[in-house]
Amino acid sequence: MKVTKLINSLKFKQVKPAITSDFDITMLTQDTREVQPGAMFIAVDGYHVDGHKLAPQAVEKGAAIIVAQKRIDVSVPVIYVQNTERAMAILADVFYQAPSQSMRMIGVTGTNGKTTVTHLIEQIYHDQHQATGLIGTMYRKIKDEVLPTNNTTPDAITTQRTLAKMHQANVETVAMEVSSIALDLGRVWGIDFDIAVFTNLTRDHLDFHKTMGNYIHAKSLLFSQLGNKYTADGTSKVAVLNTDDPVGQEFEQYTAAHVLTYGLNSDAMIHAQNVQIFSHGTEFDLVVFGEITHVTMKLIGQFNVYNMLAAFAAAYASGLPKDQIIQSLEKVTGVKCRFQSIPSDTGVRVIVDYSHTPDSLLNALKTIHTFAEKDVYCIIGCGGDRDHGKREQMAKIAVQDSTKPIFTSDNPRTEDPEAILKDMIAGVPDANVPVYVDRREAIQEAVKDAKPGDVILIAGKGHEDYQIIGNTKHHFDDSEEAAKALALKPVLTKN
Ligand SMILES: CC(=O)N[C@H]1[C@@H](OP(=O)(O)OP(=O)(O)OC[C@H]2O[C@@H](n3ccc(=O)[nH]c3=O)[C@H](O)[C@@H]2O)O[C@H](CO)[C@@H](O)[C@@H]1O[C@H](C)C(=O)N[C@@H](C)C(=O)N[C@H](CCC(=O)O)C(=O)O
Ligand SMILES: Nc1ncnc2c1ncn2[C@@H]1O[C@H](COP(=O)(O)OP(=O)(O)OP(=O)(O)O)[C@@H](O)[C@H]1O
Ligand SMILES: N[C@H](CCC[C@H](N)C(=O)O)C(=O)O
Ligand SMILES: [Mg+2]
């Protein structure tokens, strides 16, 4: 793409020295390690490194022009802007030819349920014979092609590049997780969302946002940035809000789009009633603008009723027929390592779950209690370099809502695993909870000890196939460890 086209897309800037002849930009990047000849390098002042200091390195590697927000001394032209992250979002959208405008973009935000809801949405549109795309915690997915990801919501350039590939592959609908951190850092400024979904809000990421007020504000940006588009052909913008959550009610005020509300409360436009939770599924009556349909789903738990309602509402907002959406949702068996049982003939049910916040842990345990007959083990740790305040809370929930809590390590990252465990124990000074720093040992001991009829929840790491100790990722997979431990137990003979 010609450099002048990119420069012109930035309304307010200074170019020094002025460009005298137009030339081609081969790539956009914010990372010197990726620079190729003819690149536009965007300098970002990050948490660890200031990209401005690395601009000379980018030039050495062939960058043809730099975007900066601080004065720098380099031998190529510099585009000075107020904020390079905002410029990056705009430039990436223009460079990749605004792919989000050609596809139905559904953004999902909230503390818990984003990965689940995006997968449910993907399933619904897949069943409509639409080509789908997905961006989220586990991967980026273009139809059936799975690409790795570093972040739940990647940086603006990676996201726009991915969206462009999706558009080239004729993807029609994209379900995308939008994290509060991404919203705060402006990673999604360049995306034209059509439907924005709010799941719920409870404590998380306070290491980053510092206060719940800042956290809520970051989440609200998805709705305030949605804009408005009122048309008669069904392409209008819609904010899908869980109004059982007071934060969802608050967000009604922040959006100029149409609002579609959902929840268990009968005030919501789309709501569920008569919820019945079983050990292998959930049933409820779905009420859509007064019309009732009985739904039998394979996903377990009240929290999954909310996820179903969110996905249903998003698809309904885009104009899909109610009965077809329900058919898709009824057949979904689950999302990887979100409340997923490990098959075994031992009579012990092991459930791997990605609950790594107080609220999600509580929901997972409450759900287990609706069907557990005997002991409930809860193997739980807390991530290092993350909010310290949630450690005591999660420890308390494990002790209060399971009969056999076991504390262990999650991803200690650069923290001392023993110190993280101490923070957890401080939340339950009077409880005598077994502690295994080694997560493998915690799983082995629980499985060895459990009797038929018991349930073991292994919480916090879900699909992660690694454990981060220091700065190194070691292979570790809760499901794999649980299966190995279960294989050593006697098979239950049925009379
Ligand atoms: C706190 C945070 O969000 N950090 C993100 C940030 O990293 P950073 O600020 O530390 O970057 P840095 O290392 O200081 O580098 C600054 C700049 O210099 C550049 N650089 C750096 C080194 C070099 O040799 N050359 C170079 O050009 C970098 O490309 C960057 O542009 O920019 C990086 C590139 O975009 C992100 O990958 C990184 O996410 C890290 C991995 C992370 O862990 N983020 C978490 C907190 C996060 O974003 N989580 C959310 C929520 C998850 C959820 O709940 O589901 C998410 O969306 O993933
Ligand atoms: N609607 C919900 N309300 C509360 N808890 C939920 C909900 N949906 C899922 N959970 C719990 O949260 C865990 C994570 O679910 P999921 O991965 O769908 O959320 P997420 O928002 O994508 O999380 P992350 O921020 O880590 O990407 C699940 O394993 C489950 O225990
Ligand atoms: N996206 C979340 C995931 C946390 C998962 C948990 N296993 C942990 O490491 O704390 C984060 O990076 O905070
Ligand atoms: Mg997720």
3-state secondary structure of 95: helix
Q: Which atom of ligand 2 is nearest to the CA of 306?
A: 1
227 and 267 within one domain: yes
Domains of the chain: total: 3
Q: What distances in angstroms separate CA 464 from CA 178, 244, 303, 410, 459, one per listed residue?
A: 19, 31, 21, 10, 11
Last residue of a domain, one of 72, 95, 118: 95
CA-closest residue to ligand 2 atom 31: 355
The domain that holds 395 is classified in CATH as: 3.90.190.20
DSSP letter for each residue of 397-421: HHHHH-SEEEEE-S--BTS-HHHHH
Q: For position 260, which CATH number holds?
A: 3.40.1190.10
Residue 354, both tokens: 């990605």
Atom of ligand 2 nearest to the CA of 354: 29
pLDDT at 228: 84
Same domain assignment for residues 203 and 317: yes
**Residue 403 falls inside a structural domain:** yes
Query: Is the CB of 29 inside a 6 Å radius of any atom of ligand 1?
Result: no
Range of the domain at 228: 99-331
Which phi and psi angles does 324 have, rounded to 5°?
-70, -35
Q: Which ligand sits nearest to residue 304's alpha carbon?
A: 2
- Look up residue 470 and give its two tokens: 């220091």
Please indicate, yes or no, if residue 379 is contained in any of the structural domains: yes
Whether residue 495 is contained in a domain is answered as no
Say if residue 52 is in the same domain as residue 110.
Answer: no
Span between the terminal Cα atoms of the chain, in Å: 72
> How confident is the model at residue 232, as a pLDDT?
77
Clarify whether residues 108 and 81 are in a common domain: no
Which of 288, 310, 331 is the endpoint of a domain? 331
- Does ligand 2 come within 6 angstroms of the Cβ of 116? yes
Q: Which of 308, 331, 354 is the last residue of a domain?
A: 331
Residue 492 lies in a domain: no
Tell me the CA–centroid distance for residue 301 and ligand 2, in Å.
12
Interatomic CA distance for residues 70 and 53, integer angstroms: 10
In a domain, 104, yes or no: yes
Best of 27, 28, 36, 49 for a ligand 1 pocket test (most atoms within 8 Å of beta carbon): 49
CB of residue 132 inside a 6 A radius of ligand 2: no
Looking at the domain assignment, is residue 118 inside a domain?
yes
- Percentage of the chain lying above the pLDDT 70 cut: 99
Does the predicted interface ipTM exceed a cut of 0.90?
yes
Does residue 57 have its Cβ closer than 6 Å to ligand 1?
A: no
Output the CA 403–ligand 1 centroid distance in Å: 40
- Say what the pTM is: 0.96
354 lines ligand 2 (CB under 6 A): yes
Q: Is 412 in the pocket of ligand 3 (CB under 6 A)?
A: no
Residue 190 Cβ contacting ligand 3 at under 6 Å: no
Amino acid type, 99: P
Shared domain for 66 and 166, answered yes or no, is no
- Consult the annotation and say whether 255 binds a ligand: no
Helix ranges, 148-203 (H): 156-168, 180-185
Question: Which parts of the chain register pLDDT below 50?
Answer: none
Is 494 part of a structural domain of the chain?
no
Q: How far is the CA of 17 from the centre of ligand 2 (A)?
A: 50
Q: Do 428 and 358 share a structural domain?
A: yes
CA of 31 to the centre of ligand 1 (A): 11
Residue type, 168: Q
- On whether both 316 and 418 belong to a single domain, the answer is no
Q: What ligand is nearest to the CA atom of residue 302?
A: 2
Between helices 417-426 and 389-401, what is the axis angle to 10°? 60
Q: In what order do the strands lie in the sheet with 65-68?
A: 14-16, 78-80, 65-68, 39-42, 27-29
Cβ of 355 below 6 Å from ligand 2: yes
Ligand 2 atom nearest the C-alpha of 338 is: 29
Q: Cα of 61 to ligand 3 centre, how many Å?
A: 35
Cis peptide bond upstream of 17, omega within 30: yes
Dihedral sign for Cα atoms in the order 74, 76, 82, 83: negative
* Judgement on whether residues 193 and 257 belong to the same structural domain of the protein: yes
What's the CA gap between 76 and 78, in Å, rounded?
7
Among 354, 357, 366, 380, the mutation site with the greatest number of ligand 2 atoms within 8 A of its Cβ is 354
| 156, two tokens | 């603006």
pLDDT of residue 335: 92
Question: Would you say the CB of residue 245 lies under 6 angstroms from ligand 2?
Answer: no
CA R_g for the chain? 24
Residues 164 and 48 in one domain: no
Helix, coil or strand: residue 494:
coil
* Per-residue pLDDT tens digits for 70-127: 999 999 999 999 999 999 999 999 999 999 999 999 999 999 999 999 999 999 999 9
User: With 0-12 CB in 10 A as exposed, 13-18 as middle and 19+ as buried, what is 298?
Assistant: middle
Q: Which two tokens stand for residue 423?
A: 């923070």
Instruction: Tell how far the Cα of 223 is from the centroid of ligand 1, in angstroms.
Output: 24
Q: What is the pLDDT of residue 224?
A: 97
Element (H, E) at 240: strand 238-242
Question: Are residues 161 and 36 part of one domain?
Answer: no
Q: Would the annotation count 199 as a binding residue?
A: no
Q: Is 318 annotated as a binding residue?
A: no
What is the rounded CA–CA span in Å between residue 209 and residue 428?
26
116-153 burial: b if 16+ Cβ within 10 Å, else e: bbbbbbbbbbebbebbbbbbbbbebbbeeeeeebebbb
Whole-angstrom CA distances from 418 to 358, 361, 424 are: 20, 21, 10
Least Cα distance to 439 among 447, 451, 431 occurs for 447
pLDDT of residue 494: 62
Q: Are 226 and 196 in contact (CB under 8 A)?
A: yes
CA of 134 to the centre of ligand 4 (A): 11
Residue 185 Cα: closest atom of ligand 1: 3
Q: Is the dihedral of CA 322, 328, 330, 335 positive or negative?
A: negative
54 lines ligand 1 (CB under 6 A): yes
187 labelled binding-site residue = yes
Residue closest by Cα to atom 8 of ligand 2: 113
Q: What is the CATH number of the domain that holds 83?
A: 3.40.1390.10
In a domain, 493, yes or no: no
168 shares its domain with 303: yes
| pLDDT given at position 231 | 78
CA distances from 400 to 82, 106, 367 (A): 51, 38, 14
- The answer on 273 and 226 residing in a single domain is yes
Ligand-binding annotation for 115, yes or no, is yes
489 annotated ligand-binding residue:
no
Q: Is 153 in the pocket of ligand 2 (CB under 6 A)?
A: no
| Nearest Cα residue to atom 15 of ligand 2 | 113
Phi-psi region of 209 (alpha: psi -120 to 50; beta: other; left: phi over 0): alpha
Cα of 296 vs centre of ligand 4, distance in Å, is 25
Model confidence over 335-389: pLDDT tens digits?
999 999 999 999 999 999 999 999 999 999 999 999 999 999 999 999 999 999 9
Give yes or no for residue 410 CB within 6 A of ligand 3: yes
**452 Cβ contact partners less than 8 Å away, ≥ 6 residues apart:** 346, 347, 348, 492
